[in-house]
Structure 1
Amino acid sequence: MKNYIKADEWNIIEEGFDPHLNKISESLFSIGNGRMGQRANFEESYSGETLQGNYVAGVYYPDKTRVGWWKNGYPEYFAKVLNATNWIGIHIQIGEEILDLNTCKVTEFKRILNMKEGTLSRSFSAELKSGKILKVEAIRFCSIADDEVGALHYRLSAINFDAAVQLTSFLDGDVKNQDSNYDEKFWDQVSQQQEGNTDYLVLRTKKTEFEVCTVSSTSILNNGAAQELKQVSKEKYLGQTATVNLTQGGHIDLYKIVANLSSENYDKEQLLNEAKLRIDMASAKGFSQLWKEQVEAWAKKWEEGDIIIEGDVAAQQAIRFNIFQLNQTYTGKDARLNIGPKGFTGEKYGGSTYWDTEAYCIPFYLSVAPEEVAKNLLVYRYKHLDKAIENAAKLGFKDGAALYPMVTMNGEECHNEWEITFEEIHRNGAIAFAIFNYIRYTGDESYLAQYGLEVLIGIARFWKQRVNWSADKNKFVMLGVTGPNEYENNINNNWYTNKLAAWCLKYTITAAAKVKEQAPEQYLEIIQKTGLREAQEFQDWTSVAEQMYYPFDEKTGVFLQQDGFLDKEQILVKDLPAAERPLNQKWSWDRILRSCFIKQADVLQGMYFFEEEYDLETLRKNFNFYESRTVHESSLSPCVHSILAAKLNDEEKAYEFYLRTARLDLDDYNNDTEDGLHITSMAGTWMSVVEGFAGMRVRNGQLVFHPFLPKNWNAFSFSIGFRGVQLKVSITADQISIRNNSDQELQVLVFNQAYPVPHGEKVISYKGALA
């Protein structure tokens, strides 16, 4: 665990430069805008340990992954987001000396991520080996107001010298990914062009043939006087350079405005022309105006989705950091895009889409963003339905059965660990549940006719074919699966997977009935398109759902994670020596698989999804049993446990698990922040506050609250949107106040008592309700 980030409500602050922490900071101080993003690499040259990272959304490479133990049905490649053109680069040379923080003495170093405004700034003083001391102040951002534009301002001041300083502002497309095999590079140059102080570099990815045009406009001023620039170029590299006579006490300002345009959004033949139009518009605005627009755009986002915590600065900083990173990772403007587990902060997991989106991210975007943002995450899966049917067919399923991929960029499965690719099929259920969750929250049942029912039919067909009848158990069973707990592989009757499958089958029938009633013409079109055999398939699905087998232990009263779970030696986490953790780094895989230890919520994940079906005593028995065996070695684990602990009125555990997820990256709990941030688990942090501490649910089309105030806090509040109404909810130890900022009256339930909330503020005391 690291503890070098300064506590601050709106800023992530690093003071002092420690090269050993640099890659962690590159992740923590990452910036993005949903269309592009970058790690917090230095603008100037750096010869120390670093992970260079600039990324353009939707651009990927299908890296070959065939291995010696190849199995039928494996995908041909593993998709990975590509490190793209480095647009922030500035080379600074004074005589024979290069400004490089790895080789000079660094003092007064400070790095600030301003979450309120969406900017990254850095300042430091550096003493070169010659004794020359200079000061640097830099600020940059990826515009969330114009998501193809970025800008930076870099000021260099001479403290104790007069000298000629050479500055080169460049675009460098000669880059590679950290995990490139044999240092393979994935980009070919298409063209390069320079017009005055503007550089245009067009690169094409190998195999996939995406094209990206990166264009930059540079200006350099010496004490306010514009300098003449000279062009420099080589393959995949363009730059603007000037040699400036800098005097002691004077300063040089370098401004750089950049645009990244992709062939995902423009015809390749028009890409360069479109880039010229975009850079002309951005340059005409100038750095200050672009910054002003950035601040205004972020102010709107914070107005819609901020969480305010009174009395705990570290907690306040943590929750805003999580919200900030989610907002700059995905904006919902493009239904072809989704959320990678690392966002724009690193290359681990390839930048691909996982089930994390549906299980963890949907609730966040439903509440804090316009309705179409969450809807576009679902439409993304709808557009990949044909691929999901192809994926299932490769594994032997037929008749329109759909298996969505565990890992994907374009709908194809691109993960080839057999226990994941073939067995972690619960991802199908998470996608179906997200459709239900979206409709439950928004009331938008028209989504079923437009998109949802087709997806549900494909998933239901998969579940029907994936089970088999057990004569021994006289039930339907599901064999050879991996549940959310990846410390178990190839097990039979994972309770969570069986539960999701049965629920999906029943929900698909219910959804079909709604579409048939509300949109009969569209229903007929769906029947024709899918070939749905209504009577027979519904009968088959009902039979499976009603006769599904669920492992259960009568003695403990808990649902068993899978068949034979109690055959394992039952050791509790509290009895594990600290030196043996984390298990995934200290134990062999064989030993992990034979143990009872759980990586993340599994049975409890299902009880979180379907909590209405279980009384508190059932939930408590299962929570106590499984939590004591869970090592939480997945970033997705603590938030579910926090929410369930809050439901059980175990406020101490709820807060303990909240802290584990809220500052996971800021404090580098898992010693892996240098690889990138845990973006999807950040949505779980938001859930821990809103669904956990505030106890917010949607029941029968109404918002329900069962709040409590963590003892470390004086109060907390959050903003949400719900069915066209914007609410500000504030919670203290004995009351909840709800401000309705719309003209539409809303009825809410607080501790199951109904209260109308008209326009304005409604204050509800619940002190007596707790007795």
Structure 2
Amino acid sequence: MKEYIIHNEWKIIEEGFRPENNRISESIFSIGNGKMGQRANFEEKYSGDSLQGAYIAGIYYPDKTRVGWWKNGYPEYFAKIINSTNWIGINVLVNGQELDLGKAKIHSFRRELDMQHGLLSRSFEAELPNGNRVKVTSQRFVSIDDTEIGAIRYSVKALNFSGVITFSPYLNGDVMNEDSNYDEKFWVEVEREISKNEGYLTLETLKTKFQVTTGMYFQSFRNGTPAQEEIVNASHEKYVGATQKIEVAEGDEATIEKLAATVSSLNYKNTDLLQKAKAAVARAQKAGFDKLFEKHKTKWLQIWETSDIKIEDDTAAQQGIRYNIFQLNQTYTGEDERLNIGPKGFTGEKYGGVTYWDTEAYCLPFFLGTSSIEVSRHLLMYRHKHLQKAIENAEKLGFNCNAALYPMVTINGEECHNEWEITFEEIHRNGAIAYAIFNYINYTGDKEYLAPYGFEVLLAISRFWSQRVNWSEEKQKFVMLGVTGPNEYENNVNNNFHTNYMAVWTLKYTLEVIDYLKKDFPFLFDELLKKWKFNELSETTRWRKIIENMYFPFDAKRQLFLQQDGFTDKELIPVSKLSKKHRPINQKWSWDHILRSCYIKQADTLQSIFWFEDDFSMDQLKRHFDFYEPLTVHESSLSPCVHSILAAKIGYEKKSYEMYLRTARLDLDDYNNDTDDGLHITSMGGTWMSFVMGFGGMRVKNNRLTFNPFLPEKWGSWSFRIKFRGVHLEVTMQQKQFTIVNHSDQTASVEVWNQAETVKGNSKKEFKK
């Protein structure tokens, strides 16, 4: 755990340069706009340790799988959102000496991310080996208003010398992914051009044949006046650049403004890319840095209007939640249903930037509560569009009759994960996708999504569960063999509670949906019967048998559902008894040691209890939490939020706060020693849930919002905004008082501490506990 980020309510601040933390900071200070993102690499050259990264949504490469032992059903590739053209680069010379913080003496350094306005700033004073001392300031953003544009303003002030400051802005497409399986570069050049202060570079991916054109325009200034010095161009394979030498006297400041545009064949024809890039550069040039930023800032302020969470008297907690909200909105805007949310977003290369079950389980609730209904619907449609691929994926594993197994990892619907214990066995992801359909409809009331989109997905998943179970003569129950639950520190187990529970729940829910369609859409349902060759009687009869006879491992002595068969055969030593030198165990222990231990990577059985809390009594909730929480190491970023919510439900307020702070500051404080390879974007959705569902106690029941809020001990108050079925509410918790302000014209039906009320449009109501 590293705590070098300065606490501030609206800003992420790093004071002083620590090379050993540079990769962590490059992740933490990343910026994006839903269409592209950029790690916080330096504009000038840096010879120290760095992960250069610029990423474009939807542009990927199928990197050939590298495994020692090929198994039937393995995917042939791992899809990766790939590192793309470096558009931020500006090499700087000071009297012929290269500015490089890896070689200079640094007198001061500050990096700052303004979350309220979406601006990354940096300033430092450095002394070069030739004795020249400079003060550098830079500002950078990728526009969330015009999502094809990025902008940089970079200034160098001569503190103790006169001479020449040389700027060399460039576009460099000769990049590669650090995680390339065969040390392969994924781009080839299509065309390039450079003329004075404007240049363009078009590249194409191998295999997938995506094309991306990146353009740049720059202008240099001396003390605010445009520089007139000659511009010299440079061009070679995958590279265009320019050089301008600016004469300065001591105290003068040389500034360069670099505007860049990125367009891709995902949105335009290949033949139109250069023209579209030039049009985007022209838009940026006409507006200029300041006007571009004003529009960008205005858009961010609008986003915060509906998604901000406020905390009084706890700056660390306040900074944490805003940072999570900021990164979620940078990663996904919901405007394009072809796109989804990668676990690292646009901040690093681990996990390939592709889609996991994280989206449905942890991100969907955030977008349901803070964005328009279309945004969440697009997340669901992403899976519906991939239904045929999911069916093909199941067929490769031996399933039939249009059963679907959604991939563990994907970008285009095909499975691209190749660890057998996850690819073939972590099948609970199917349940998460089914649950997301229920969650969306329960929240929005948009039941028509079921006709036919939701039903088609549910039918295919139910067919999978029906075939995946088998009958145990010994137990006289249906069992699920050879699975891996959410807790990946247990592989190839039998009867994982969460997996079995999700299977049964999915079958029940699909039966409910069938009844709804038969009643409200009888003609459509008849068409769906024919389309999917659905033998309703025989298939649903088997489903009901599975529902009634599913086996769940149970410890009668402890009155606990076990995570899987044989879990209590392990030596049950609480995490609190582990020496710190053994943590995190995934970096200190062998895999054999981990698998034989009782330690849980993330909420597993508790995941089911969280989603289906009404199926369990309060005593059961408490008993299961008390058993599993002490055994959980939370080495998955997806774990603390579930524990925080359940702790709040049970009344363990201090534990709820502890787990909230862990998830909220997971990356800012590098809890799991892995922020250097990118942020944990999808767990940030869990952070939002831990606040709204934990401290706010918010649920949707009987078509209305219910709240059972509490105020953590050290806080003066908290508040958050929530959208629900056309209503926009602002809720505030103070000591013993809960207030709802309705910012919409529509009346809201709510329940607070089991007290049902209505809040009229544009009015306020207070509740006392």
User: Normalized against structure 2, the TM-score is what?
Assistant: 0.98
Letter in 1 for 2:766: I
Quote the offset at 1:431 in angstroms.
0.3
Partner of 2:372: 370
Quote the offset at 1:6 in angstroms.
0.9
Partner of 2:471: 469
- 1:108-187 aligned within 5 A: 108-181=108-181, 183-187=183-187
Letter in 2 for 1:492: N
Among candidates 561, 584, 587, match of residue 586 of structure 2: 584
Determine if contact 1:309/1:316 at 8 Å carries over to the other structure. yes
Q: Measure the CA separation in 2 of the matches of 1:446 and 1:254.
A: 54
Partner of 1:425: 427
Q: Measure the CA separation in 2 of the matches of 1:269 and 1:529.
A: 39
Determine if contact 1:727/1:741 at 8 Å carries over to the other structure. yes
Partner of 1:300: 302
Partner of 1:314: 316
- RMSD over aligned CA atoms reads 1.1
Question: Deviation string for 1:614-669 (max 9, x for gaps)?
Answer: 11001111110111111111111111000000000110111111111111111111
Question: Deviation string for 1:500-545 (max 9, x for gaps)?
Answer: 0011011111112212322333323322322212222122212211
Partner of 2:49: 49
Q: Residue 396 in 1 paired to residue 398 in 2?
A: yes
Quote the offset at 1:195 in angstroms.
4.1
Change (3 A) 1:397 1:182: closer
Partner of 2:226: 225
* Segment drifting more, 622-631 vs 188-197: 188-197
Q: Measure the CA separation in 2 of the matches of 1:560 and 1:92.
A: 61
Quote the offset at 1:196 in angstroms.
4.3
Q: Measure the CA separation in 2 of the matches of 1:732 and 1:477.
A: 49
Question: Deviation string for 1:332-382 (max 9, x for gaps)?
Answer: 111111111111110011111111111111111100111111111111111
Partner of 1:212: 212
Quote the offset at 1:573 in angstroms.
1.6
Partner of 1:566: 568
Partner of 2:82: 82
Q: Measure the CA separation in 1 of the matches of 2:574 and 2:691.
A: 28
Determine if contact 1:737/1:761 at 8 Å carries over to the other structure. no
Question: Deviation string for 1:444-480 (max 9, x for gaps)?
Answer: 0011114111100110000000001111111111100
- 1:717-732 aligned within 5 A: 717-732=719-734
Determine if contact 2:153/2:255 at 8 Å carries over to the other structure. yes
Quote the offset at 1:440 in angstroms.
0.3
Letter in 2 for 1:598: I
Quote the offset at 1:41 in angstroms.
0.2
Q: Measure the CA separation in 2 of the matches of 1:122 and 1:508.
A: 53
Q: Residue 699 in 1 paired to residue 689 in 2?
A: no
Partner of 2:190: 190
Letter in 2 for 1:491: V
Question: Deviation string for 1:287-322 (max 9, x for gaps)?
Answer: 111100111100011001000000111111111001
Partner of 2:272: 270
Match of 1:164, SS state, is: strand
Q: Residue 410 in 1 paired to residue 407 in 2?
A: no
- 1:431-450 aligned within 5 A: 431-450=433-452
Runs of 4+ in 1 over 4 A off after TM superposition: none
Determine if contact 2:342/2:355 at 8 Å carries over to the other structure. yes
Match of 2:451, SS state, is: helix
Among candidates 284, 292, 297, match of residue 290 of structure 1: 292
Determine if contact 1:55/1:344 at 8 Å carries over to the other structure. yes
Quote the offset at 1:388 in angstroms.
0.3
Q: How many residues align?
A: 767
* Segment drifting more, 435-444 vs 445-454: 445-454
Partner of 1:762: 764
Among candidates 666, 669, 674, match of residue 668 of structure 2: 666
Partner of 2:72: 72
Q: Measure the CA separation in 2 of the matches of 1:719 and 1:328.
A: 18
Among candidates 251, 255, 258, match of residue 257 of structure 2: 255
Match of 1:411, SS state, is: coil
Q: Measure the CA separation in 2 of the matches of 1:528 and 1:192.
A: 53
Q: Measure the CA separation in 1 of the matches of 2:523 and 2:269.
A: 36
Determine if contact 2:365/2:689 at 8 Å carries over to the other structure. yes
Q: Measure the CA separation in 2 of the matches of 1:285 and 1:521.
A: 54
Quote the offset at 1:696 in angstroms.
0.2
Q: Measure the CA separation in 2 of the matches of 1:560 and 1:221.
A: 68
Partner of 2:710: 708
Match of 1:183, SS state, is: coil
Quote the offset at 1:40 in angstroms.
0.2
Q: Measure the CA separation in 2 of the matches of 1:222 and 1:760.
A: 53
Stretches of structure 2 that go unaligned for 5 or more consecutive residues are: none
Change (3 A) 1:196 1:132: closer
Quote the offset at 1:182 in angstroms.
5.1
- 1:94-113 aligned within 5 A: 94-113=94-113
* Segment drifting more, 733-742 vs 507-516: 507-516
* Segment drifting more, 537-546 vs 400-409: 537-546
Determine if contact 2:165/2:254 at 8 Å carries over to the other structure. no
Quote the offset at 1:760 in angstroms.
3.0
Q: Measure the CA separation in 1 of the matches of 2:321 and 2:136.
A: 31
Q: Measure the CA separation in 2 of the matches of 1:269 and 1:76.
A: 31
Q: Measure the CA separation in 2 of the matches of 1:251 and 1:588.
A: 55
Q: Measure the CA separation in 2 of the matches of 1:584 and 1:356.
A: 20
- 1:269-668 aligned within 5 A: 269-668=271-670
Letter in 1 for 2:336: D
Determine if contact 2:227/2:246 at 8 Å carries over to the other structure. no
Q: Measure the CA separation in 1 of the matches of 2:46 and 2:575.
A: 43
Letter in 2 for 1:542: R
Question: Deviation string for 1:534-578 (max 9, x for gaps)?
Answer: 222122212211211111111111101111111222222222222
Match of 1:760, SS state, is: coil
Stretches of structure 1 that go unaligned for 5 or more consecutive residues are: none
Determine if contact 1:735/1:763 at 8 Å carries over to the other structure. no
Letter in 1 for 2:497: W
